Amino acid sequence: HITYVTSRMLTDQIGYIKIDEFSGSALEEYQQAVDQLQQQGMQSMVLDLRDNPGGFVDYAVEIADELLPQATVISVRDKNGNTKEYTSDNDMMEFPVAVLVNGNSASASEILTAALQDNGRATIIGEKTYGKGIIQSHFNLSWGGYLKLTTASYYSPNGNAIHEIGVTPDIEVSLPETLQENPSSLTDQNDTQLQKAIEVLSQ
């Protein structure tokens, strides 16, 4: 069994949830983590999507739906200009949210980040994301091979392209070079991005 989500309380009121990848049981693990942290008194949440390479877009859309009121989550546009929108319903969790991202946050994690940012639902903290926002389709060929084509692109609720552009945080904070070179030495206390999130949520 692979665990995709870790969570804990940072303070009496601030919860922390890290999603490593939007795969497997990640959505269910996230929902369980939110429930458990709320039972422990969570009034605001840090959502850590750093180094999250993406995965199932449906998971990102579902999490956005749970955090947003009725709004556009993401739109998909093909080369002919045909657009499909993913939207959220009116039910939402109302606690404040800060999202942590970095240059390795890609694909589905960027879709969730852009949805929360454009709808003014969360403060995005960290470094500019990777910039992977395309849909690739596979077509089986008669001789046993397959063809992979890029067939559409993702756009944020405000109509901004994600691919090769990424999402720019509201508050740009980098980790010290020594921590980037030696991630195992990262702690809550020296994690400058996490500390900024705690500061924002404590205001």
Q: Which residues are catalytic?
A: 107, 118, 132
In this structure, what token pair is assigned to residue 113?
């980040």
- Which residues lie below 8 Å from residue 130, measured CB to CB, with a gap of 6+? 103, 104, 105, 106, 107, 110, 166
Q: How far apart are CA 151 and CA 76, in angstroms?
A: 10
φ, ψ dihedrals at 29, nearest 5°: -65, -40
Write out the two tokens for 144: 């046993």
